[in-house]
Structure 1
Amino acid sequence: MRIRRIDLSDARALWELQKQLDTETKFMLLEPEERKFDLSQTIGQISRFDFLIGAEVDGKLIGYLSAKRGHTHRIEHMAYIVVGILEDFQHQGIGGQFFILLDEWAKDKGIKRLELTVITKNYAAIALYQKSGFEIEGVRKAAMCVDGEFTDEFYMSKVFE
């Protein structure tokens, strides 16, 4: 397994990873039928991220972490995080490695605050985020509707002192 930057040449591989995540978990934003492959749209998505890394096994992306920085003066000190790791590769330290690299990038870029949202029932992700220094700030009530049922999300952040 190796962790590396994801670039424009990885557009199809990233899309395939995201599509597989949409299929195997109910913790990501999109449902499987919502993600349609459009190369130019996926390339655009990649180019809009300020930080994008992936874990690769045997040439296949099996996880990713993206960060998008605020692009107006008042919020340029913060970045919003999304992370997904295929089920077969969870609990192997990949997420922890992602967050170590994220912290290095954030400190190098002068980021003061990292933030994310997570479904309150995603216990493994919450544990990873807390281990990586994130704290729960609040609850977004009925933030998502999964299988016809409304579910809450935690708003979590990490602030660098």
Structure 2
Amino acid sequence: MIINNEEFYKRGITYTIRSAVHADAKQLAQLRLQIDGETENLDREPGEALMNEHDFEQLIKNDSESDNNLFLVAVIQGQMVGFSRCQGNKLKRLSHKVEFGVGVLKDYWGYGIGKKLLSKSIIWADSNNLKKMTLHVLETNKKAVTLYKSLGFEIEGVLKKDKRLSDGNYYHTIVMGRIYE
């Protein structure tokens, strides 16, 4: 699905949220790799489950043509600084919901970019008659849990000792959902 571009301003930075396009593929491959190396909040170590330019071209094409997928990017002066994705399911029993994921470069945390990506995704999901949006968040990512709760997500469960981080310890993953009435 494709959405209209929208511009935002916060603390001296203007950024645009828009749908990913074919020409973004190379920059997305580089961005995802960089974000994976900046935080342990995501599932991957840097270089794991690597996606190259061609992989992103195909993903963007599929998402653009699908009614239940949404791929957004955040751009500042031509430089991609974040992305989000809602992935739906074609199976009838699961077609009412999407899974949300987001990544923003560490230098741009605190500018509301992740929140705007999620807010745009919520508006899209609501306008497309989806009934549920889900996400997974690491228990140590307290700011994200607070943000998700503020946007109507509830904790649905906990996956105990779900991820092992660089300190060698295991951490829980919180499963959250937002249900549309």
Per the normalisation by structure 1, the TM-score is 0.93
Output one character per residue of 1:59-78: Cα deviation in whole Å (capped at 9) or x when no partner: 11111110001210001000
The answer as to whether partners of 2:28 and 2:53 remain within 8 angstroms in 1 is no
Task: Tell me, in whole angstroms, the C-alpha distance in 2 between the residues paired with 1:101 and 1:120.
Answer: 24
Q: Are 1:38 and 2:57 an aligned pair?
A: no
- Aligned CA-pair RMSD: 1.5
Q: Are 1:2 and 2:13 an aligned pair?
A: no
The answer as to whether partners of 2:36 and 2:44 remain within 8 angstroms in 1 is yes
Task: Tell me, in whole angstroms, the C-alpha distance in 2 between the residues paired with 1:67 and 1:37.
Answer: 17
Partner-residue secondary structure (3-state), 1:107: helix
Per the normalisation by structure 2, the TM-score is 0.83
More helix by percentage? 1
User: How many pairs are equivalent?
Assistant: 161
For residue 12 of structure 1, report the CA deviation from its aligned partner.
1.0
Structure 1: any 5+ residue segments left out of the alignment? none
Q: Are 1:109 and 2:123 an aligned pair?
A: no
Report the residue type matching 2:110 in the other structure: H
Output one character per residue of 1:30-50: Cα deviation in whole Å (capped at 9) or x when no partner: 111325453222223333441
Task: Tell me, in whole angstroms, the C-alpha distance in 2 between the residues paired with 1:47 and 1:146.
Answer: 33
Task: Tell me, in whole angstroms, the C-alpha distance in 2 between the residues paired with 1:145 and 1:20.
Answer: 20
Over the matched positions of the two proteins, sequence identity in percent amounts to 29
Report the residue type matching 2:89 in the other structure: G
Q: Are 1:157 and 2:177 an aligned pair?
A: yes
Task: Tell me, in whole angstroms, the C-alpha distance in 2 between the residues paired with 1:83 and 1:47.
Answer: 19
